[in-house]
C-alpha cells in the first residue's frame, strides 16, 4: 500500500470533478496569463528556489523515511511541497524587499520548479528502497527470518553503508528521467492524459499567484504553521514519558482496554498517522481498519489456537515457522494479488487506448471544449510554451545509453551476484515498463512502481538461483523500481508544467537537480535513523515492515513454497484469489456500490504491522468526514494544510529525538499501564 502513489483527495477531488471550479480558475485568470511574460527556462530556475528545494527536500525525506520505517504508508506530499515552496519564497522576497534589496518577482513557473525539485528529492527516499529492498539485505533482517531458514544464506547479506548506498542511488536514479522524454508530447498533448495529482497541483499553484488565491495561500500557511507547532510540541511532550524500551509512553496507551491492546487495537496519539488519515481517501482509511479487524480481530487469534497442531507451540513471536510466518506470507499474497490485477488492468487499458488512439479518457474530461475564445487562446499559448523549449531525442537517447553503460559497469561491483548481462536485460525492457506505468498513472493516478520492482525481483532471483539469488533479486528490484517510478514522476511534472506554462526544459533540469539532491539527502537522512534508532527490530517503533517482506519474496523466488507453515500456502492462495475477486468486483459494480468495497492493498498493511495505526488513521478520516458535513468549503481549503502540519511537526521532532538518542540521553519517565492486582 505504502509503496503506491496516493492522491491528495482534499485538493484533487473538488478541482478535478467540479468543472465549474476549473472554468472559474482558468477563465478568471485568462487575461492575467495572456499579459504575463513567460520567463525563459533559465530564469525559472533560481538560486533561492534551489535553496528552498534543498530545505524542503530534507524535511520531506525525513518524513518519508519515518513513514517508510514505521508503517510503510506514504501519502502524497506534492500539495504541501507547492504550498511551503510558495510560503518560503514569498517570505524571502518580502524580507529582502524590506531590507532594500532588489528581488525578482516570484512567478508560478518558479513555484512549479521548486515543487518539482522537492518531489524528485523526497521521491528517492521511497524508490531508493531504504525501507524495503536495500534494508532487506542487512544482517538484522537475515537473523530475524532465521539463520537456519531454507534459502536464507549468510552470504546474501549486505549491511547499509553510506557510500555504497549513495553510489547505488546515483547509478540507477537518473535513467528513468531519460527513458520517456521523447514521448512527452504524445503523453501530454496527443493523448491528453490527465495525471490527476499533477493537474491538481498545477491548479493549486495557479491559484496561489492571483490576489484571491494568494490570500487563501497565506491562510493555509498560517493553518499549517499552527498545527505544525502543535504537533511538534505534542511529540516533544510524549518523549518525556516514553522511557527506555518500547513498552512505555503514549505510544503504548491502552485507550480501548488491555484486552484489545494485546491485539494491537489502541490509539497511540500519533499526529503523523492522524494526518495521513486526513490526507488519504476515506476508502483507504476504512480499508486499512477493515484489514486490521479481519487479521488481528479474527484471523490471528484463530490461528493462535492451532499452536501445537499447525505449527510448533512455544516458538518466538518472530519465528517464521509459527504465527509470524502466516502474518508475513498472507500479507504478501494480498499485495501481490492486488498488484497483479492492477498491472494487468492498466496494461489492458493502455493497449486499448493506444490502439484506438482515443482522445477521451475515463477519469476526468479536459476543459478544452472551445466555448470561449479565452480558453482557446490560453490552450494555444500552453501548447506553444510546451513545445518551444524542446529536449532533443538524440540527447535523451544518448543520455539513457550512457547512464545505462555506467550502471552496467558499476552495479556488479556493488552487487557481485547481479551480473552485467542481467542489468543490461533490465535496461532493455525498462522503457516499455516505464511507458506502461506512466500511461497508467496518467489514467488512474496510481503508480505501480513497486509492483514492477517485485516482478523484476522474482525473475532475477529465480534466474540466479541459490548462489546469490536473494541479493541479485533485491538489487534488480531497485533497478526496475527506480526507472519506472522516476519516469512516471517526470511525466506527471510535465503535465503540471504544461498547465502552469512552465518550460519543459526547466522541468527536466529541476528533476535532474532534485534527483541529484535526493541521491545525497535521502541516504544521509536515512543514516540519521540508522545510527540513532534500532531500525529493523520488530519491537522497535522503526520496525521497517517491508524489509522482511521483500527478503521473503526474494527467498520465495529462489526456493519456492516448500517451507511454509502448515496450511499457510492454502491460506495465501485463498487471500490471493480474494484480492483478485475484490478488485474485479470493484470494477464491475456501479460506483455507488464500489465506493464501499475495500481495497486489498490497503487491507494488507495491518496484517503484518498491527492495528494501532489503523485506529489513528480512522480517527483522521472521521475528523475529515465530520468537517466535510459541517463546512465542506472549509475542509476543502484547509484539510490538506492541517494534515501537512501534523505530519511535518512530528517529522521535525525526529531530528532532536535522533540527536538525543545519539548522545544516549533517555526520557526521564516510563509511563506504563497494566492490570490492577487484587489483594
Q: How far is CA 35 from the centre of its chain?
A: 38
Helix axes 78-98, 47-70, angle to 10 degrees: 140
**Residue 470, pLDDT score:** 93
What separation, in Å, do the N-terminal and C-terminal C-alpha atoms of the chain show? 48
179 touches 433 (CB < 8 A): no
Q: How many CB atoms lie within 10 A of CB 632?
A: 11
Pull the grid cell for residue 640: 490538506
335 touches 167 (CB < 8 A): no
How confident is the chain (679 residues) per 10-residue block, as mean pLDDT?
38 33 39 62 92 94 88 73 86 86 87 93 92 92 87 91 94 91 80 74 79 76 87 92 80 89 90 85 90 94 90 76 84 82 77 62 44 69 84 89 95 94 92 80 71 85 90 94 90 89 92 96 94 85 86 85 79 93 92 89 83 91 94 88 84 82 84 75
589 touches 596 (CB < 8 A): no
Give the contacts of 107 (CB within 8 A, at least 6 positions apart): 39, 44, 209
What HEC string does 521-562 produce? HHHHHHHHHHHHCCCCCCCCCCCCHHHHHHHHHHHHHHHCCC
Gap between the Cα atoms of 506 and 514, Å rounded: 12
Separation in Å, CA 668 to CA 238, 508, 664: 11, 50, 12
Pull the grid cell for residue 444: 488512474
| Angle 595-295-337 from CA coordinates, rounded to 5° | 60
Give the contacts of 49 (CB within 8 A, at least 6 positions apart): 85, 89, 110, 113, 114, 117
**Residue 370, pLDDT score:** 46
**Residue 13, pLDDT score:** 30
Gap between the Cα atoms of 5 and 200, Å rounded: 14
- DSSP type of residue 599: P
Amino acid at each position: 500500500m505504502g509503496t503506491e502513489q496516493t492522491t491528495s483527495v482534499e485538493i484533487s477531488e473538488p478541482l478535478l470533478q467540479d468543472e465549474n471550479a476549473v472554468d472559474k480558475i482558468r477563465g478568471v485568470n485568462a487575461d492575467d496569463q495572456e499579459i504575463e511574460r513567460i520567463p525563459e527556462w533559465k530564469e525559472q530556475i533560481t538560486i533561492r528556489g534551489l535553496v528552498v528545494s534543498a530545505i524542503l527536500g530534507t524535511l520531506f525525506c525525513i518524513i518519508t523515511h519515518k513513514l517508510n520505517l514505521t508503517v510503510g504508508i506514504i501519502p502524497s506530499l506534492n500539495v504541501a511541497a507547492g504550498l511551503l515552496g510558495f510560503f518560503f519564497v514569498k517570505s524571502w522576497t518580502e524580507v529582502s524587499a524590506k531590507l532594500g534589496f532588489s528581488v525578482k518577482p516570484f512567478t508560478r513557473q518558479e513555484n512549479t520548479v521548486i515543487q518539482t525539485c522537492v518531489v524528485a528529492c523526497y521521491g528517492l527516499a521511497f524508490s531508493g528502497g531504504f525501507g524495503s529492498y536495500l534494508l532487506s539485505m542487512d544482517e538484522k533482517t537475515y537473523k530475524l527470518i532465521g539463520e537456519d531458514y531454507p534459502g536464507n544464506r549468510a552470504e546474501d547479506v549486505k549491511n547499509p553503508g553510506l557510500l555504497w548506498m549513495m553510489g547505488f542511488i546515483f547509478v540507477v536514479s537518473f535513467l528513468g528521467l531519460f527513458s520517456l522524454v521523447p514521448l512527452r508530447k504524445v503523453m501530454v498533448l496527443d493523448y491528453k492524459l490527465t495525471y490527476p495529482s499533477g493537474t491538481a497541483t498545477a491548479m493549486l499553484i495557479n491559484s496561489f499567484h492571483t490576489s484571491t488565491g494568494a490570500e487563501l495561500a497565506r491562510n493555509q500557511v498560517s493553518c499549517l504553521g499552527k498545527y505544525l507547532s502543535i504537533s511538534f510540541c505534542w511529540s516533544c511532550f510524549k518523549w518525556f514519558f516514553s522511557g527506555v524500551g518500547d513498552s512505555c509512553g503514549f505510544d503504548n496507551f491502552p485507550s480501548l482496554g488491555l484486552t484489545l491492546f494485546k491485539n494491537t487495537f489502541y490509539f497511540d496519539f500519533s499526529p503523523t498517522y492522524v494526518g495521513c488519515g486526513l490526507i488519504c481517501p476515506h476508502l483507504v482509511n476504512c480499508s486499512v481498519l477493515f484489514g486490521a479487524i479481519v487479521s488481528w480481530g479474527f484471523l490471528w487469534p484463530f490461528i493462535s489456537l492451532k499452536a501445537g497442531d499447525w505449527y510448533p507451540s512455544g516458538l518466538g513471536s518472530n519465528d517464521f515457522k509459527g504465527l509470524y510466518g502466516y502474518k508475513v506470507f498472507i500479507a504478501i499474497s494480498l499485495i501481490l494479488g492486488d498488484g497483479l490485477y492492477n498491472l494487468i488492468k492498466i496494461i489492458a487499458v493502455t493497449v486499448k487506448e493506444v490502439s484506438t488512439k482515443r482522445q477521451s479518457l475515463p477519469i476526468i474530461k479536459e476543459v478544452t471544449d472551445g466555448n470561449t475564445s479565452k480558453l482557446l487562446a490560453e490552450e494555444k499559448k500552453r501548447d506553444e510554451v510546451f513545445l518551444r523549449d524542446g529536449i532533443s531525442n538524440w540527447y535523451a537517447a544518448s543520455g539513457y545509453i550512457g547512464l545505462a553503460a555506467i550502471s552496467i559497469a558499476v552495479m556488479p561491483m556493488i552487487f557481485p551476484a547481479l551480473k552485467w548481462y542481467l542489468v543490461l536485460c533490465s535496461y532493455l525492457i525498462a522503457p516499455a515498463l516505464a511507458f506502461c506505468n506512466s500511461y497508467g498513472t496518467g489514467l488512474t493516478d496510481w503508480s505501480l512502481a513497486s509492483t514492477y520492482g517485485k516482478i523484476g525481483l522474482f525473475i532475477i532471483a529465480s534466474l540466479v538461483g541459490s548462489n546469490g539469488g536473494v541479493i541479485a533479486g533485491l538489487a534488480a528490484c531497485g533497478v526496475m523500481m527506480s526507472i519506472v517510478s522516476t519516469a512516471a514522476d517526470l511525466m506527471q511534472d510535465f503535465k503540471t508544467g504544461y498547465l502552469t506554462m512552465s518550460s519543459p526544459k526547466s522541468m527536466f533540469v529541476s528533476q535532474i537537480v532534485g534527483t541529484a539532491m535526493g541521491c545525497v539527502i535521502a541516504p544521509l537522512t536515512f543514516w540519521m535513523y540508522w545510527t540513532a534508532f534500532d531500525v529493523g527490530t520488530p519491537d522497535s517503533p522503526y520496525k521497517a515492515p517491508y524489509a522482511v517482506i521483500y527478503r521473503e519474496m526474494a527467498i520465495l523466488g529462489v526456493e519456492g513454497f516448500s517451507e511454509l507453515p502448515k496450511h499457510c500456502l492454502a491460506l495465501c492462495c485463498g487471500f490471493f484469489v480474494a484480492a483478485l475477486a475484490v478488485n474485479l468486483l470493484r470494477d464491475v459494480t456501479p460506483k455507488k456500490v464500489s465506493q464501499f468495497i475495500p481495497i486489498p492493498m490497503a487491507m494488507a498493511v495491518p496484517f503484518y504491522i498491527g492495528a494501532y495505526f489503523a485506529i489513528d488513521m480512522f480517527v483522521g478520516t472521521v475528523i475529515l468526514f465530520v468537517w466535510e458535513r459541517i463546512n465542506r468549503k472549509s475542509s476543502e481549503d484547509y484539510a490538506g494544510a492541517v494534515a501537512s502540519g501534523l505530519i511535518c511537526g512530528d517529522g521535525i521532532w525526529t531530528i532532536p529525538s535522533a540527536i538525543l538518542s545519539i548522545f544516549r540521553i533517555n526520557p526521564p519517565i516510563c509511563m506504563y499501564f497494566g492490570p490492577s492486582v487484587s489483594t
